């Protein structure tokens, strides 16, 4: 792509248009660009090698010498380092850094479980909800209480409270206010659940609770079976000292142990099928 060089002359061209009357109103950026003009020249100028005082062709008439050094050789073309643009930093897009992003990273580093709360991702411009919010208080009507509330509240305190000196103090004030509101919110939910249960509401166990309970029952059954199997293994280790009639009892115990294992596996598989809708 051809390097664009017209952007460096935008100030002089616009001032000429204003003087000639092509543009009637001064652009908004005119004073800023005039105060901070571009400092880099985007035009790539080729390296021009200065000719020697003597004609290089005269050396062809001289006898050839073996092992010529680099200083005795003539440079016919510029090197790649001379042709390349050394000032390549001006072509890189600068990274935008905001104080709010640093506060967000710091908050979610301290509170990783806040990321597990559901978020509303349906938006057009990204600031529809924030425009309706008044951050003189943290609780908002159009927005749930989350980490973004802490960030916006801290920025509001930093900009409007003269007693706050730095961003760390504003962040601490917003963070402790967030803690109080979160504890009050959890307390209200517990009280509402207890009142509903008092008036006859029944809360069924969630799928996670049911899975944990079933898994624990399965583990408990296996603990009992493992204890019995351990006793059988210990008896087999000492069977040389046991009487001959005990061998028949060991075979019976093994058979009963195998049947109990099969019954436990069948019961668990039936419960999982019923939980999954009979699939």
Across 54-63, 172-181, 199-208, 260-269, least confident range: 54-63
CA dist 104 and 150 (Å) reads: 9
Rounded Cα–Cα distance for residues 114 and 110 (Å): 9
pLDDT digits (tens, 9 = 90+) for 94-113: 788 888 999 999 999 999 99
Question: Given phi > 0 = left and psi -120 to 50 = alpha, else beta, which region is 277?
Answer: left
Under the phi-then-psi rule, with left for phi > 0, alpha for psi from -120 to 50, and beta for the rest, what region is 126?
Answer: left
Write down the domain spans for the chain: 1-50, 100-118+129-199
Residue 9's SS3 state is helix
Contact 155, 100 (CB under 8 A): yes
- pLDDT score at 206: 80
Does 84 have pLDDT greater than 80?
A: no
3-state secondary structure of 227: helix
User: Where does the pLDDT of residue 207 fall: very low under 50, low under 70, confident under 90, or very high at 90 and above?
Assistant: confident
Q: Is the pLDDT score of 143 beyond 70? A: yes
Q: Are 80 and 46 in contact (CB under 8 A)?
A: no
Q: How far apart are CA 197 and CA 203, in angstroms?
A: 8
Supply the pLDDT for residue 203: 81
Predicted confidence (pLDDT) at residue 67 exceeds the cutoff of 80: no
Average pLDDT over residues 244-271: 64
- Across the range 81-101, mean pLDDT stands at 76
């Amino acid at each position: 792509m051809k390097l664009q060089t017209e952007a460096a002359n935008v100030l002089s061209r616009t001032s000429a248009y204003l003087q000639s009357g092509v543009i009637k109103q001064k652009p908004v950026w005119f004073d800023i660009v005039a105060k901070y003009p571009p400092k880099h020249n985007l035009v790539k100028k080729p390296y021009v090698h200065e000719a020697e005082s003597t004609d290089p062709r005269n050396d062809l008439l001289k006898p050839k010498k073996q092992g010529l050094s680099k200083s005795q050789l003539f440079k016919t073309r510029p090197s790649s380092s001379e042709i390349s643009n050394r000032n390549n930093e001006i072509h890189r897009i600068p990274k935008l850094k905001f104080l709010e992003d640093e506060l967000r990273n710091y908050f979610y580093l301290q509170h990783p479980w806040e990321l597990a709360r559901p978020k509303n991702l349906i938006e057009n411009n990204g600031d529809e909800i924030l425009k309706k919010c008044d951050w003189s208080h943290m609780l908002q009507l159009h927005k749930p209480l989350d980490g973004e509330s802490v960030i916006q509240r801290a920025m509001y305190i930093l900009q409007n409270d003269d007693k706050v000196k730095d961003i760390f103090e504003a962040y601490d004030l917003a963070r402790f206010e967030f803690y109080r509101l979160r504890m009050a919110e959890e307390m209200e939910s517990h009280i509402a659940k207890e009142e509903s249960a008092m008036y006859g509401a029944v809360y069924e166990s969630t799928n996670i609770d049911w899975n944990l309970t079933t898994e624990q029952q399965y583990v408990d059954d296996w603990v009992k079976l493992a204890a019995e199997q351990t006793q059988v293994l210990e008896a087999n280790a000492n069977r040389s000292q046991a009487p001959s009639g005990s061998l028949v009892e060991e075979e019976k115990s093994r058979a009963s142990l195998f049947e109990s294992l099969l019954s436990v596996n069948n019961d668990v598989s039936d419960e999982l099928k019923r939980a999954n809708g009979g699939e």
